Chain A
Amino acid sequence: MEEASYNGKRKIELRRLGSYLKYAGRAVFFFGIWDAIKTVITMFLNPIVLGIQQKSDMNAEEQLTQVLSFAVLGIVLWINILIRFYIGRWAIKEGNGERKGLFPLLVTCVYLVIVMVSFVGVLKGFLETANMESFLISFIIELTSALALIIIVVCSWRVRYLEHKVYTH
């Protein structure tokens, strides 16, 4: 096996994209775990949740509404985490050369759009409160999350394009 057969321009590019996919996939996966930890800290250990039975000024209906809203929020957050795990795992497999069709890529694209929309929420919050510190922190955190997803989407499309070119030429 000669070096020349390994190092065609397209093969090098595919290897580069595969590497980016693997690492970006791992990043999304670990961000998912990190999100899970943050969710546990901010959501399930909220004193209001734990102390809800002690609140005497709320009637049963209000308490139920509160519990239900927390439950829905919790479910949404956990779905978010599961989607990240799914995307992360898929991207790692894509990076290793396994092709699983277009569905995971479409899920990633849709999720990326949702993350970009959340940027708008962060910006809106800043405009309302003018809290630079909070804005910066949230912005950077959202940005890191989005960066890995952008890399996955771009690299995955490019890999498919290059492989299509290989097969059709």
Chain B
Amino acid sequence: MQEDFHYYATYCAAWLAGYEVSDCSRIAYAAQLVDLCSKTFINRFHGPRAATTTQLKTELADAPTDITGIQDITRVWASFHFLPGNLYAHLPKRNRYYMNRYRLICDVNGTLLADTVNLARKGGVEACGIAMHILADTWAHRYFAGTPSFVINDAGGFYELRETENGVERIKVNFNHNPITADNIEKCSFTNCLKQDSETSVMNLGHGRAGSLPDYSFFKYEFQPAWGDYRILVKDNPSDYYRAFCQMVYAMKCLRSGEQEFETDTYDEETVSPYREEIMAILKKRQLIANEDWKALGEKLTGTALEDFDLLKYGDEYMEAEKGHKEKTFLGRFFVAALAQKSMVTNKIFRSGNLIAGFSIDYGTNGFRGIEDFRMLLEEMKKGAMDDQS
């Protein structure tokens, strides 16, 4: 998903879930920051590098794709953008090497999603924002995996299913590999990643072979994924995005209540229904990005102006905070929440018997002297446990 949904739509959903306007802004900011919190961003503020939630193109270009490199890439992308749907999926006649990749395919309403949202209960609005980003991305990025894999993430046979006056028209999608040319909606011409039959090429990470199609809310299309065994899948983005929105409202209500456990496959359609027509109009409008429309809706809902996303908004607060107090700033809490999320997902993948995201050690229970960054997380966890006891 793009800024229109992660920032503006999340803002609207947060307000509908009952958050104050100021909290809505912070949740929306955190949700959008997940797409921008790279090593480059963190280095700027001398933050913990393990808290990266994304990798820029330039970082990926030089990322090693040996075993440890793949594990590093998978930890980031599977934790924040392609949350696995079923870590214990089973397919007949497949070997372990294949299944390790297959089990990382992102899908909606997996147990990991419930774990993600329930984990965010221990954090503040920053953790909530991260969880909402991940939730939304499970709907947009489903059917692709957050690890470089040609046998999983390759895809072909793309056709747009466009609603016209004469019914549904099936239009072949044309892809080119020129990043300079903009996507052309009317001619159905888009940019995607070059086909690389090397298994661990970064071109085979996520939905690169589908271009930006999963991120366009108006696009309904069919395609054949590499793992689909010649099945054709239909991806109805307008419908999926609407369900994502309703699920976000429900999830944020759970988080706001503090006590209610998040359950998968539950949507707060009742709260959203008065605005359904407006939302569907935005989602179905054929445009590359819907920032203005979502912003207008957000301002209409809250009655206040909604500022545009500013990446460096909380940078000064973090830089000016003294050592030992940085965790109390917005970015500090964001980093801790990101570390917690990455730890949780890596641990779950490891416990399922899959080493593709690397090893995971329970630092808390085993008293390990772990990576410096994760000690920050451990200290926060200890503080949280002490607060619970008192």
Contact = CB atoms under 8 A, between A and B. Distances in A.
B230 A6 contact: no
Contacts of B234: 1-3, 6
B171 to A, nearest CB: 12
A1 B168 contact: yes
Contact of B230 (A1, A2, A3, A16): A16
A155 to B, nearest CB: 13
Contacts of B233: 3
A15 to B, nearest CB: 4
B303 to A, nearest CB: 42
B249 to A, nearest CB: 27
Given A1-B161, A1-B168, A1-B170, A15 B222 contact: no
B390 to A, nearest CB: 53
Contacts, number: 26
Interface in B255-276: none
Interface in A1-40: 1-3, 6-7, 12-13, 15-16, 19
Interface string B193-237: 000000000000000000000000000001010000111111000
Contact of B232 (A6, A13, A16, A19): A6
Interface string B159-175: 00100000010100000
Contacts of B231: 3, 6-7, 12
Contacts of A19: 230
A12 B231 CA distance: 6
Interface of B: 161, 168, 170, 222, 224, 229-234
Interface of A: 1-3, 6-7, 12-13, 15-16, 19
26 contacts: A1-B161, A1-B168, A1-B170, A1-B222, A1-B234, A2-B234, A3-B231, A3-B232, A3-B233, A3-B234, A6-B222, A6-B231, A6-B232, A6-B234, A7-B231, A7-B232, A12-B229, A12-B230, A12-B231, A13-B230, A15-B224, A15-B230, A15-B232, A16-B229, A16-B230, A19-B230
